[in-house]
Structure 1
Amino acid sequence: MPPNLIEPAKRDAASPADKPAECPGPSPRDNIFAVHGMWCSSCAFAVEHVLRRQPGVEHASVNFMSSTAFLQWNPARTDVEILRRHVGRLGYSLGNTPSTEESRTRLARERRTLVTRLVVSVAFGMWTVMASSLLYFNYGLGPDVDWVLALVASTLALPVVGYSGVPFYRAAWRTLRAGRPGMDVLVSLGALGAVLFSAWQLWHGSADVYVDTAVMLITLLLVGRLVEMFSRQDGLDALAALDDLTPDTARVWQAGNWVALPLDQVSVGDRIRVESGDGVPFDGVLIDDRASVDRAALTGEHAPITLTRGDRIEAGCLNADTAFTLIVEVELGNRYIDTLRHRMLELVARKGDVQKLSDTFARWLPTAALCLALVTFGLTLLRGVEVEAAFAWALSVLVVACPCAVGLAIPVVTQAASAQGLRHGLVFKDMSAFESLARARSIAFDKTGTLTSGRLGIREIRTAPGIEADRLLQLAAQAERGIMHPVAQTLRRRAIERGLALADDVEVTHHPGQGVEVRLVSGAWLRVGSPTWLESCGTRLPDMPDLAGKLVAVSLGAHWQGTLALDETLPADTSEAVCHLRRATLTVALLSGDRRTSVEAVGKRAGFRKEERYAALTPDAKARLVDALPKPSAFVGDGINDTLALASATTGISVAGATRQAHDIAAISLLTPGIGQVREAHQLARRAYRLMRQNLGFSIGYNLLALGIALWMPIPPVIAATAMTISSLSVLANAGRLYLDPAN
C-alpha cells in the first residue's frame, strides 16, 4: 500500500464563512409501513409512484414480496395520514408494520382465498380445455355440433373469468388509475379480450373461440401466485424465528416477590429472573456471579457460553443452566432482537441498483407490449390476414410480454438471501449491500472488539514449585470475586469453566489500577495484581522476559505463587477468514489506534502481512485510509471511534457487541463476535448477486426473445400463456438455489 495512504484527503468545499446561513428545519422522518391489498409487483409500482408524487416525500420504495414500504418524508410538508389517504384512493391501505403473527394470519387468509380461486379455475378450466380440444382436432362432427361445443366451452370458462380472474382485473384498474399500467393490465386485456372475441364469434355463428387461452392464462398465473406466496411465507418464517425466541411474559421482582408480567409492562432498571431452559426476554446486565447461555438461535453458535457478573445478555438467548437474574437495559421495541427485525424489513423494502434496473424494464414493458400488440393487429390486417387470425396473433404478443419474471427477478433473491443470512447470524440492512459487498475490491478491519473478541483470555500460566495451575487460578479468581474489571471477569470465567469452587464469604480490598488483596483466616495476605504492585508490597518475582501480554501475579504473604499471562483472544477461524478474503483478490488491512507492538502481535496471529498492519491511527486517519482503499471497499468495526470509517467505506459492517452508533451506520450486522462471519457474508453476497444478475438477464432476455418470436410468427395464445408462466417459475426456482445448494 502506498506510504502516503493516510495523508489528509483534499476536498473541494467552501469554508463555513463562505456558506450562507441556513434556517434549521424539521429533520426528515423515515419508517417502514405495511401495504395491504397488493396482488403483484405492478401494484407495488403503482403505490410507489403515488407516494413519490406527494409533496414532502423524499424517498419511497415499495416491495411486493414483503408487502412493505420504506418512506422518508418531510414532516413540515406532509404527514402519514395524508399519505394513507392517497394510497387508499387506489384501493390499497398503508398501515403500521404488523407483528409477524398478524402478517402470517393475513398471508394465510390470502392463501386460502387464492387456493379457492385456483380450485374453481382448475375445475371449470379442465372441462373448458377438453371441449376446446374437440374443436382443435376437428372430429368432423359438423358445424352445428362445433358451435354447440364452442358454446359449452365458453360457458364453462365464465366462472374462471368471472371469479378466479377478479384479482387481476382489480389490480389492473388500480394500476391504471395510478398511471402505471402493469402486468395485470396485459393479463386482463388478454383474458377479457379472448372471452369477448369468442362471444362475438359465437354471435356470428362461428365456432372459432379462444376461451381456453383465457382459462389457461388465469390458471397458470394463479399457480405462479401460489408459489410466490410460499416464497413470502419463507421470509415471514425468518422473522417469526426472531419473535419466537422470547417469551410473552417476564418474571419481575416487585414488592418482595417474583411476578409474571407482560413484556410491555417491564421497565428499564427492573430486575428479572430467567429460569433454566427459558428464553431471555430483555437485553440486560447479569448481576449473578455466573450464567450459561445458549445463543444458537440468535447467532448459530451452538456451544453455550459462560458469563459472569457485569456481562451483557441479549433477548433471544436461552438459559442453558441454573436460573439467573439480570437488570433490564432497554424497553420492549428497542431490544437488539427488535432492531434485527426492523433491519430485515428495511432491507426488503429498499432497492439496489439491480432492482431499480429490473423495475424500470418491468414498468415500461407493458406499455411497449400494448403498442406492439396493436401494431401487430394492424399490420396483419393490412397483409390480408383474417380478423380471427390477426386477433390471435396480437393476443399472443400481449400474453407473452407479461413481465411477471422481470418483476420477481430481484425480490425473490433478496428474500431468500436475507432469510438465509439471518439463519446464519447475518443481518443485511441495505439491499445494495449484497451488490457492493459482492463487488468489493478491498476490506479493512478494526482490531479491538472486532478482530479480537473483546475479551481477555489466559494464554499461559507459570507457577512456583509445588503449585498447580488450577490452584493458582482458583486463588486469583477468589481474590477477584465481585470486581467488574475485565481482568477479574476473565479469571472468574475461566475458573467457573474449569469447575473450580469459589467461596462466598471473602472480603476483598480493591486497589484501583494495581490489584486486590484478601485477608485469609491464617492472617496471611493473598494479593493478585500487577507484578510491579506485588513487588512494592515486598514480594520477589522471578524474571520472565519471554512472557508477553497483560501479566497478573499472585502472592501469598511475601511468597510468589505464580503469574498468569492474559491477552486478547482471536476466534479460531480468524486467520482462515483473512486468507479467504485475500484469495478472493480483496486488498485486506488491519487498522487500529493501539500501539504498534500490540497491533503487530495480533495482526501476525490473525494472518495479516506486515505491510497490511496499521497502528496508532486516529478515527479520522482510519477514515482517510479506508477512503484511499480500492473501491468498492468494506470496513468492519464495532465502536464509536469506527463510525467515520464505517461511513467512508462503500459497505460498513458491524460485529456483535458493537455500539448502537456503529450498528446504525453499518449496512451489515454480524451477530457472532469475531470476523469469521465476514467470510460467510461475502460468500452469501456473491451468490445472491450472481443469482440477481442471472434472473434479471434471463427474464429480460426471455421477454425480448419471446416478443421477437411472437412478432415474427403466430404462436397459439395457449402456448404463449404457458411459456410466460414457466419463465416466472424458472426465476423462483433459480432463487431457491440459495436454500437447496448454499455452496453453489
Structure 2
Amino acid sequence: MSKIKCDHCHLEYDEDIMIKDENLHFCCKGCQGVYHLLKSDGLDSFYDKLGNKTISPPINSDKDVEKFDTKSFEDNFITQTEDGYKKIDLIIEGIHCAACVWLNEKVLFNTDGIIEANINFSTNKAKIVWDSDKINLSEIILKIRSIGYNAYAYDATIADEKATVAKRDFFIRMMVAVFATMNIMMLSVAKYTGFFTGIDDEIKHYIHIAEFIFSTPVLFYSGWIFFKGAYYGLKNRILNMDFLVSVGALSSYIFSLYILFGGKGESYFDSVAMIITFVLVGKYLEVIGKKSAVDTLDKIKSSIPLEAVVIKNKIKNILPINSVQVGDIVELKAGEKASFDGELISTTASFDESSLSGESLPVDKKKGEKIFSGTINNESVIRYKVDKAYKDSTLNSIVTLLEDSLSSKPKIEHRANEISKGFSITILCLSLITFIVWYYFGINFGFNYDGVSHFEKAFIVAVSVIVIACPCALALATPIANLIGISELAKRRLLFKEAKFIESLAVADTLVLDKTGTLTKGKLKVKKAKILDNNIHKLNLLYSLISNSNHPISKSVKKYLDENYELSEKELFDIKSINSKGLIAKYKNVDGKVFKLLGGNIKLLRDNKINYKFDSLNSVYLFAIDSQVIATFELEDEIKEGAKEFIEKMKSFGIDTIMLTGDNNKTAQKVAKEVGITKFISDVNPIEKAQYIDKLKNQNKTVVMAGDGINDSVALSKSDIAIAMGNSADIALSVSDIVLLDNSLKSLEESFFISKRTYKFIKQNLFISLIYNAITIPLAMAGFVIPLVAALSMSLSSLIVVGNSMRIKLKK
C-alpha cells in the first residue's frame, strides 16, 4: 500500500484511509478543517513557511461531539437563564496563560449565537451562555477544538482528576528542564572559565555538543507548551507571551547550532535551557499561588455531601443529590450536613448554621421551620421535606456565586488586556530595530562583547529584548489580585456575584442604608400593647390578618399574641397589601355581614378616613374593624452592635452615608442620632426610595445600597452596587450584587475594606509591570542584559506581581 502525505500536517499515511478533497489529501477531518480555515482567513502562506516540516494534526474534532446535544447531557449539565438562553460550565484543556484565556474568549465572542463567554484563568473553567436557536453546544465545542484546545462539561470529580494529570505533566516537564539546566550550568562554568584562561577548540567543541544534548529535550519537550501556544496564537492572528518565549529560545538554539557545526563565536545552548526553565518554574510558582487563593472555594465544595437518604413508601433509598426532587422526604443523622433547603417534619431539631451566618450558637428548630442546605444537624435523627432541588439550594448558590465571581472581569482588567494586546508586536518591532541598529552601526557598549562578530552582538541583544519583555506580568496584574480578594471576601462570608463589583465598591462615594434589618436587628419587640376591645372574636380577626403578612412588624405582633392569647385564624378574602402602610382584608360572618379589616400604620388609617390620633417615637401597628380601632401596638427595634463605629469608619473612607426608611420621622431621627448619621430620609415608600437613588446617580454619585426587605428590592436594583443582608427576602437577594451571609455591619465594613485594598494592589501590580518593562526593555536594547538574565528577570516580574497580590491577605 503506497504512502501519501497529508496536505496539512505533512505526516504520511496509507492512501486508502486518506480523505480526498479535490486535488488535496488529508489524514483526518481536523486537518481538512484547519487547512480550509487558514485558506479562508488568507493565512495559507503558512504552508510555504512550513516547507517539508511536519506538525501534529489537530484534535479529532468530530469525536464524541454528538453527545453534547443529547437530552441526558442537557439534563445533567445545562441550565436555562432568565432570558431563555442556555448556560453551561466547561473546563477548557490546554490553557496555561492569560493570553490563552483571551484567545478563547475572542474566538467565542466572535461566534454568532454565543451571548457570553467568561473563562477563569485560575481554574480553566468557562461559563458559556448561548442562544440554542442559533448554535448548538456541539458547534461551540468544535469551535474550541478548532483553535487547539479541548472542552468538556465541568464535573468536580473529573475536573480534579484531569487537573491532577495536567499538573503532573507540567511538573515532569519542569523537572526535566531543571535537571538538564543544572548540568548545562556546570558545563558553562568550564566554558566561561576557559574563555578567560584559554581553552582548546576541541574541548570547547565537546562542551558545545554536551550542551546541545541537554538543551534539546528542554526546548522541544519541556518547552513544547510554549510552541503549541504560539502556534495557535498565530493561527488566530495573535502574538502572545508564548510566541515571545518560543522566538527567543528557538532563535538562540538555531544560532547555537550554527556555532556547533563550524561557525565562529559562542554558543547559547545554556540560554536556551534557562529561558525555558526559568519561565516554566515561574509559571509553576504562579500555579501554587493561585491554588492557595482558591482553597476557600475548594473547602466549601469538598464539604458538600454527594448522596442523601430519601424515604419513599417507608423504604430508605440512598440517592445522588442531583436525583432528589422537590417534595421528597430526606433523613439526616446527627453530625450530617443538609444538602437541600426544606421544611422540618420532625417535632424539633437543633442546627449549626455557622457556615452561613457565622453564629456559633446552635439554632433550635420546630416542626414546619426552614432547614438550609450547608447547615449541620446537631442532635438526633431528623426528617425534612425538600422544597428546593440541589441546584437551587442555598449551598449550591453560594458555590455558584463564588465561581461566577472568579470568572468575571472588572473594567480595569479589560483595560489591562487592551494594553497587552499590542504588547508582543511592539516588542518584536523593538527587537528588530535593536538588531538593525547594533548590526549596521557596530555599537559596542553594555556588556563586553569583544571578540564576537557584529551579527552575533546584534543577535544576542535582540534576543534579550524579546525574552525580557513580560506581557504575562501585565496580564496577571488584575486577575491574580481579584482571585485573592474574592477568596478573602468568601472567608468572611461576603459573596460578590461578580469580581467587577470589587472595583465598583472600591471607588464608591455614597452609601444608602435601610433602617430595619440593616442598621437595626430587625427583630422588633412589642414594647407597649393597648387592646381597646377584648372581644376574642375580634382578636381572632386581628390574628388572621397579621398571619397574611411577612413584614417584621406583623411577625412581631403575631409573636406577642401567641405568647399572651390562644387565638385561631378565620377565613379572610380580598386581602390587599399596601406598600409601606399595611394590609386591608374583608371578613364575612355567619349572618352574611361583611367587615373591613385594616392593619398597619397611621397612614393606612388616614387613607381610609379613620381619624385617630397616635403619636410615638417607636414603630407602631394599629388594627381597626370598619372605622373602629380595636388595638394599638408600639414596637422597638434594637440598634445592631457596632453600628456607630461602622458609620465612623465609613466617614474615614470618605463615603457619604444616608439612611433611607419608610418609618416615621421621629423613629428615623432617633435611630440616626444613636448611630451618628447626619443625613436621613423618612416616610418613603419603595418607589420613592428608588427615585431617591436615581436622584443621587444623576448627581454623578457612585451609589451603594444595603437593604434586606421586599420594599428595598426596587431601590437595590437602581443602585450601582446592591448589597443584601443575609436574612434578606428572596427578591432582595436576586437583585443584589453582594450578599453578606452573617448579616452584620462588620461584614459590610470588611467588604469595603477588602475591596479598597484589592483595588489598591491591582493598581500597584499594573504599575510594577509597566515600570518593569519601561526600565528593563531599554536596558536590554542597550546591551546590558544577556538572554539568560533576561529569562530570569521575566519570570521574576510575574512572581513579584503574584507575591505582591498575596499581601492582600496580610492586613486584618
The normalised TM-score by structure 2 is 0.74
Q: Does 1:732 align with 2:793?
A: no
| Residues 337-376 of structure 1 aligned to structure 2 (within 5 Å) | 337-376=395-434
The letter for the 2-side match of 1:249 is E
- The 3-state SS of whatever aligns with 2:422 is helix
Distance (whole Å) between structure 2 residues aligned to residue 168 and residue 90 of structure 1: 15
User: Quick one: which of 105, 108, 113 aligns to 2:161?
Assistant: 105
Deviates more, 1:156-165 or 1:302-311: 302-311
Identity between Structure 1 and Structure 2 (%): 26
User: Quick one: which of 700, 711, 719 aligns to 1:649?
Assistant: 719
Q: Does 1:572 align with 2:630?
A: no
What is the Cα deviation at residue 510 of structure 1?
A: 2.1
What is the Cα deviation at residue 730 of structure 1?
A: 0.5
CA deviations 1:51-99 (Å, max 9, x no partner) are 1221233443333223133444444433332222111111112333332
Q: Quick check: 1:111–1:229 contact (8 Å CA) kept in 2? A: no
C-alpha distance 143-430 of structure 1, shift in aligned 2 (>3 A): same
Distance (whole Å) between structure 2 residues aligned to residue 661 and residue 488 of structure 1: 19
What is the Cα deviation at residue 298 of structure 1?
A: 3.1
Aligned to 1:428: 496
| Residues 266-665 of structure 1 aligned to structure 2 (within 5 Å) | 266-288=324-346, 290-384=348-442, 386-457=454-525, 508-510=566-568, 567-609=636-678, 612-629=679-696, 631-665=701-735
What is the Cα deviation at residue 492 of structure 1?
A: 12
User: Quick one: which of 29, 36, 40 aligns to 2:93?
Assistant: 36
- The 3-state SS of whatever aligns with 1:302 is coil
Q: Quick check: 1:157–1:211 contact (8 Å CA) kept in 2? A: yes
The letter for the 2-side match of 1:418 is I
CA deviations 1:246-297 (Å, max 9, x no partner) are 3223333322355443322322122333332221221123345544322223
Q: Quick check: 1:452–1:674 contact (8 Å CA) kept in 2? A: no
Q: Quick check: 1:596–1:615 contact (8 Å CA) kept in 2? A: yes
Q: Does 1:96 align with 2:153?
A: yes
- Unmatched 5+ residue regions in structure 2? 1-81, 444-453, 531-542, 573-598, 600-614, 623-631
Q: Quick check: 1:234–1:419 contact (8 Å CA) kept in 2? A: no
- The 3-state SS of whatever aligns with 1:419 is helix
Q: Quick check: 1:49–1:180 contact (8 Å CA) kept in 2? A: no
- The 3-state SS of whatever aligns with 1:736 is helix
The letter for the 2-side match of 1:591 is L
Aligned to 2:753: 683
The letter for the 2-side match of 1:87 is I
| Residues 703-722 of structure 1 aligned to structure 2 (within 5 Å) | 703-722=773-792
Aligned to 2:63: none
What is the Cα deviation at residue 591 of structure 1?
A: 1.5
CA deviations 1:344-372 (Å, max 9, x no partner) are 22212221111012212222111111111
What is the Cα deviation at residue 150 of structure 1?
A: 1.7
Higher relative contact order (CA 8 A, sep 6+): 1
What is the Cα deviation at residue 645 of structure 1?
A: 1.8
Distance (whole Å) between structure 2 residues aligned to residue 415 and residue 190 of structure 1: 31
C-alpha distance 98-259 of structure 1, shift in aligned 2 (>3 A): closer
- The 3-state SS of whatever aligns with 1:174 is helix
Aligned to 1:475: none
What is the Cα deviation at residue 40 of structure 1?
A: 1.1
Aligned to 2:143: 86
Q: Does 1:149 align with 2:217?
A: no
Distance (whole Å) between structure 1 residues aligned to residue 276 and residue 357 of structure 2: 43
Aligned to 1:218: 276
- The 3-state SS of whatever aligns with 1:407 is helix
C-alpha distance 40-572 of structure 1, shift in aligned 2 (>3 A): same
User: Quick one: which of 201, 209, 222 aligns to 2:259?
Assistant: 201
CA deviations 1:87-137 (Å, max 9, x no partner) are 1111112333332x4333222222211111111111111111221222223
Aligned to 2:246: 188
What is the Cα deviation at residue 216 of structure 1?
A: 1.1
Q: Quick check: 1:275–1:323 contact (8 Å CA) kept in 2? A: yes
C-alpha distance 123-219 of structure 1, shift in aligned 2 (>3 A): same
The letter for the 2-side match of 1:113 is D
Q: Quick check: 1:26–1:74 contact (8 Å CA) kept in 2? A: no
Distance (whole Å) between structure 1 residues aligned to residue 393 and residue 176 of structure 2: 46
Aligned to 1:129: 185
- The 3-state SS of whatever aligns with 2:662 is coil
Q: Quick check: 2:617–2:670 contact (8 Å CA) kept in 1? A: no
- The 3-state SS of whatever aligns with 1:66 is coil
C-alpha distance 567-244 of structure 1, shift in aligned 2 (>3 A): farther
- The 3-state SS of whatever aligns with 1:380 is helix
Distance (whole Å) between structure 1 residues aligned to residue 426 and residue 286 of structure 2: 25
The letter for the 1-side match of 2:107 is V
Q: Quick check: 1:128–1:156 contact (8 Å CA) kept in 2? A: yes
Q: Quick check: 1:252–1:260 contact (8 Å CA) kept in 2? A: yes
Q: Quick check: 1:132–1:150 contact (8 Å CA) kept in 2? A: no
Distance (whole Å) between structure 2 residues aligned to residue 238 and residue 48 of structure 1: 26
CA deviations 1:305-350 (Å, max 9, x no partner) are 3444444332111223444443322101111221222222221222
CA deviations 1:167-221 (Å, max 9, x no partner) are 1111111111122120000001111111111001111244511111111111111
C-alpha distance 78-214 of structure 1, shift in aligned 2 (>3 A): same
Aligned to 2:118: 61
Distance (whole Å) between structure 1 residues aligned to residue 353 and residue 394 of structure 2: 13
The normalised TM-score by structure 1 is 0.80
C-alpha distance 72-546 of structure 1, shift in aligned 2 (>3 A): closer
Distance (whole Å) between structure 2 residues aligned to residue 85 and residue 720 of structure 1: 38
C-alpha distance 409-548 of structure 1, shift in aligned 2 (>3 A): closer
C-alpha distance 577-291 of structure 1, shift in aligned 2 (>3 A): farther
- The 3-state SS of whatever aligns with 1:585 is coil
What is the Cα deviation at residue 445 of structure 1?
A: 1.5
What is the Cα deviation at residue 678 of structure 1?
A: 1.0
Distance (whole Å) between structure 1 residues aligned to residue 472 and residue 760 of structure 2: 20
Aligned positions, number = 651
Q: Quick check: 2:428–2:466 contact (8 Å CA) kept in 1? A: yes
Aligned to 1:556: none
- The 3-state SS of whatever aligns with 1:208 is coil
Q: Quick check: 2:515–2:659 contact (8 Å CA) kept in 1? A: yes
Q: Quick check: 2:88–2:153 contact (8 Å CA) kept in 1? A: no
Q: Does 1:742 align with 2:811?
A: yes
What is the Cα deviation at residue 694 of structure 1?
A: 0.5
Distance (whole Å) between structure 1 residues aligned to residue 325 and residue 155 of structure 2: 23
Q: Quick check: 1:66–1:235 contact (8 Å CA) kept in 2? A: no
C-alpha distance 738-90 of structure 1, shift in aligned 2 (>3 A): same
C-alpha distance 175-126 of structure 1, shift in aligned 2 (>3 A): same
Aligned to 2:450: none
C-alpha distance 440-112 of structure 1, shift in aligned 2 (>3 A): same
C-alpha distance 104-392 of structure 1, shift in aligned 2 (>3 A): same
RMSD across aligned positions (CA): 3.4
What is the Cα deviation at residue 689 of structure 1?
A: 0.3
Distance (whole Å) between structure 2 residues aligned to residue 262 and residue 31 of structure 1: 20
Aligned to 1:263: 321
